[in-house]
């Protein structure tokens, strides 16, 4: 069954009780003359959202319309007529009966499109960083960068979500490209009604509340299950560091969660699958493992209004340089959707070269082989989804082989999407 756009639209206008003398907005549809007898009715349909017109702003009332186009118009008219009088509703219901099957098909198609669109979510951020890194009386600029972090989630079913992360990292001061935007990490996350969480694949993970014991990408699996009657969860993990050659894998268990109104804890013990001691590979190369077990004790508490204290203590079974710690005090904090929000923090850290598994270098601000010192930083949201972060760090590199002072100033702006 074919109908003309013009006659069909006017029929709906009359069915909806629209007067032929209704006031029309200026220029709603470019190709309907304002002196045409149907102009006011068609314009009112446009204003009410029943007729949408074409992307170029025209009506094209002389062309043939399909039953599905007519069904789409009728479906919108049905919604508009619900508040109308009985006569109007009766007329529209007749049209609905005629195009009922097409309307059902359209509704099913829209629902399917919506469900598919909701399965995939993208997020990320773009960062600009400037460093003034005075290390051992030498200014280093290798951390000046343009960086983009892109995340994608695909909801597989009600329990599982597949995830990926792609990083593009360009250093603008020394000319090298860094990571060129490949997909660095892929993993899947499962969440069940009983609170069980499973995470498997390659992604960035840490043990503790701060990435002192471990803060790095790993290949492996983690599992977490709430302990009934408490605010705590029992955790288990198997994590392999994605390094070539003498690759380390760690396994262990822990407990994390809330133990009070404003107190959180995170405890973990990890064991290496490599034996500590003097070890040589088939080529006679020394591959000595300095430690094969480690633990972390972490706690965080709100010590006053808008003031939170977090501490991590780490110890491995290495013979020396085997302890690390970090204490952070934060005042307020930024909210990306709240312009003008801010946070101030200070942090003391002492990382020993054998006092971690693989601590996070935090974009080179903390040497992975050992350092101690202070950081003072400020974060501010100048506009929605934009965060400015600036900090100063005074530290002393402290290892068995070197002992140098370092002053680091960094400022960066993140654009979140």
Full pLDDT tens readout for the chain, 417 residues: 444 444 444 454 444 444 333 333 444 555 556 665 545 555 655 666 555 555 555 555 555 556 656 566 666 666 666 655 555 566 566 656 765 677 678 778 878 887 788 889 999 999 999 999 998 778 888 889 999 999 999 999 999 999 999 999 888 887 666 666 789 999 999 999 999 999 999 999 999 999 999 999 999 999 999 999 999 999 999 999 987 666 789 999 999 999 988 899 999 999 998 777 655 555 555 556 788 999 999 999 999 999 999 999 999 999 999 999 999 999 999 999 999 999 999 999 999 989 999 999 899 898 767 889 999 999 999 999 999 999 999 998 765 555 678 899 999 999 999
308: Cβ–Cβ under 8 A, 6 or more apart, which residues?
300, 301, 302, 329, 330
pLDDT value at residue 36 = 56
pLDDT value at residue 84 = 57
| CA pair distance 379, 75, nearest whole angstrom | 50
Which helix (H) or strand (E) element contains residue 94?
Answer: helix 86-98
Which helix (H) or strand (E) element contains residue 292?
Answer: none
pLDDT value at residue 182 = 84
Q: Which residue has the tokens 């370092």?
A: 406
Q: What are the tokens at 168?
A: 């593009």
The hierarchical CATH code for the domain 121-416 is: 2.40.160.10
| CA pair distance 289, 245, nearest whole angstrom | 13
* pTM for the structure as a whole: 0.73
pLDDT value at residue 348 = 97
296: Cβ–Cβ under 8 A, 6 or more apart, which residues?
207, 208, 212, 213, 266, 267, 268, 312, 313, 314
DSSP string, 340-376: T-EEEEEEEEEE-TTS-SB---TTTTS-TT-EEEEEE
| CA pair distance 133, 141, nearest whole angstrom | 7
| CA pair distance 170, 176, nearest whole angstrom | 7
With contact defined as beta carbons under 8 Å apart, do 415 and 407 qualify? no
Query: Apex CA 371: angle with CA 370 and CA 375, to 5°?
Result: 145
- Paired strand residues for 311: 299, 327
DSSP string, 114-177: HHHHHHEEEEEEEEEEEEEEEETTEEE-TT-EEEEEEEEEEE-SSSEEEEEEEEEEEETTT---
Alpha helices (runs of H) in 16-54, residue ranges in sequence order: 39-47
Provide φ and ψ at 363, rounded to 5°: 60, 40
Residue 165: count of CB within 10 angstroms of its CB: 18
| CA pair distance 173, 315, nearest whole angstrom | 38
Strands 197-207 and 180-191: antiparallel
CATH 2.40.160.10 maps onto the chain at: 121-416
């Amino acid at each position: 069954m074919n109908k003309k756009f013009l006659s069909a639209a006017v029929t709906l206008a009359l069915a909806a009780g629209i007067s032929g003398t209704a006031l029309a907005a200026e220029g709603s549809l470019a190709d309907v003359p304002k002196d045409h007898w149907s102009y006011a009715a068609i314009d009112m349909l446009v204003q009410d959202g029943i007729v949408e017109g074409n992307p170029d702003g025209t009506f094209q009332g002389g062309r043939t319309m399909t039953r599905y186009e007519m069904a789409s118009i009728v479906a919108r008219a049905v919604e508009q007529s619900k508040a109308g009088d009985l006569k109007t509703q009766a007329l529209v219901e007749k049209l609905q009966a005629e195009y009922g099957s097409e309307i059902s098909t359209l509704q099913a198609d829209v629902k399917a499109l919506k469900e598919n669109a909701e399965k995939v979510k993208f997020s990320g951020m773009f960062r600009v960083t400037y460093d003034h890194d005075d290390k051992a009386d030498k200014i280093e600029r290798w951390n000046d960068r343009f960086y983009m972090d892109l995340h994608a989630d695909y909801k597989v079913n009600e329990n599982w979500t597949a995830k990926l992360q792609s990083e593009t990292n360009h250093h603008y001061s020394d000319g090298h490209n860094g990571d060129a935007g490949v997909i660095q990490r892929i993993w899947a996350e499962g969440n069940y009604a009983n609170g069980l969480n499973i995470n498997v694949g390659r992604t960035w993970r840490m043990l503790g509340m701060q990435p002192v014991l471990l803060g790095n990408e790993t290949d492996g699996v983690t599992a977490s299950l709430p302990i009934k009657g408490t605010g705590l969860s029992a955790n288990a993990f198997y994590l392999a560091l994605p390094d070539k050659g003498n690759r380390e894998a760690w396994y262990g268990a822990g407990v994390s969660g809330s133990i009070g109104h404003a107190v959180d804890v995170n405890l973990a013990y990890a064991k290496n699958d490599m034996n500590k001691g003097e070890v040589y590979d088939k080529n006679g190369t020394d591959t000595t493992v300095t430690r094969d077990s480690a633990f972390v004790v972490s706690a965080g508490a709100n010590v006053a209004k808008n003031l939170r204290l977090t501490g991590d203590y780490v110890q491995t079974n290495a013979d020396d340089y085997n302890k690390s710690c970090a204490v952070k005090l934060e005042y307020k904090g930024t909210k990306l959707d709240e312009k003008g929000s801010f946070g101030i923090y200070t942090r003391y850290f002492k990382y020993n070269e054998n006092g971690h598994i693989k601590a996070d270098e935090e974009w080179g601000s903390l040497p992975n082989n050992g350092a101690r010192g202070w950081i003072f930083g400020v974060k501010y949201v100048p506009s929605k989804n934009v965060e400015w972060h600036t900090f100063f760090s005074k530290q002393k590199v402290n290892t068995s082989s070197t002992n140098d002072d370092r002053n680091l100033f960094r400022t960066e702006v993140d654009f979140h999407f």
